[in-house]
Structure 1
């Protein structure tokens, strides 16, 4: 059984996930763009993996956009995205909150009709290993 560990940016919240991920989607919908402040969200999904909070569960808060299925959990101290359970059957894990390597390849892109207009230009952008000089 695979075990993943994760945490928030400030280190208050730590968690462990035991089990396998069913899918890994990059979502380009407008909700995920607003939610992440980026071109897309990168979320892992599982119907069988188990989430166990190791520390800081009292710092985890959630928001569900009214009249939608868009929901997110985050640390109330630093704002980092954290796992949440939807409909008590689906575990949604933001890939960036994991401290262990994600070996699953993305399953696909969702809501590509809502892609940010600047996203197509990303492949031509220069790359830097750290801050540019």
Structure 2
């Protein structure tokens, strides 16, 4: 069964289509994900064997990889939004959940790299929550 997903960056310069099924969904708390997201974790979906097609803005994409690791990020060079990374050598596409415009049909499988989470990442569920900016 094939699934079609769409997404874009914050400024709208880069848009993509992904044909394939998300098999894993991890919330990663490693220091690299915290640095690239500026928050407690990255929410990444993994689609083995998926086909990623850039509909616009492929020339606006930048790529960064930590040498000697699998850690890589593709991002819009205009607005900085994390975008999908097509890891051909690993046979999968990693998609930041936040860049999707279509619904995600799976729930996160796990929080990972909790051993290196930020010291402020405890009890976030206990923090007040608002539908908009609090006054």
TM-score by structure 2 length? 0.94
**Residue equivalent to 1:131:** 133
What is the number of equivalent residue pairs in this alignment? Answer: 133
| Closer, same or farther: CA 57–123 of 1 in aligned 2, 3 Å | same
- Counterpart for residue 116 of structure 1: 118
Secondary structure at the aligned position of 2:132 is classed as coil
Instruction: Name the SS for the 2:35 alignment partner.
Output: helix
Cα RMSD of the aligned pairs, angstroms, is 1.1
The CA deviation at 1:67 is 2.8
- Residues 47-71 of structure 1, C-alpha deviation per residue, up to 9 Å, x if partnerless? 1211111111100110001232210
Residue 57 of structure 1 is matched in structure 2 by 58
- Unpaired runs of at least 5, structure 1: none
Q: Which runs of 5+ in 2 are unaligned?
A: none
- In 2, Cα distance between the equivalents of 1:119 and 1:70? 22
- Within 5 Å, which residues of 2 pair with 1:1-133? 1-86=2-87, 87=89, 89-133=91-135
What is the SS of the residue equivalent to 1:72? strand
SS at match of 2:122: helix
TM-score by length of 1: 0.95
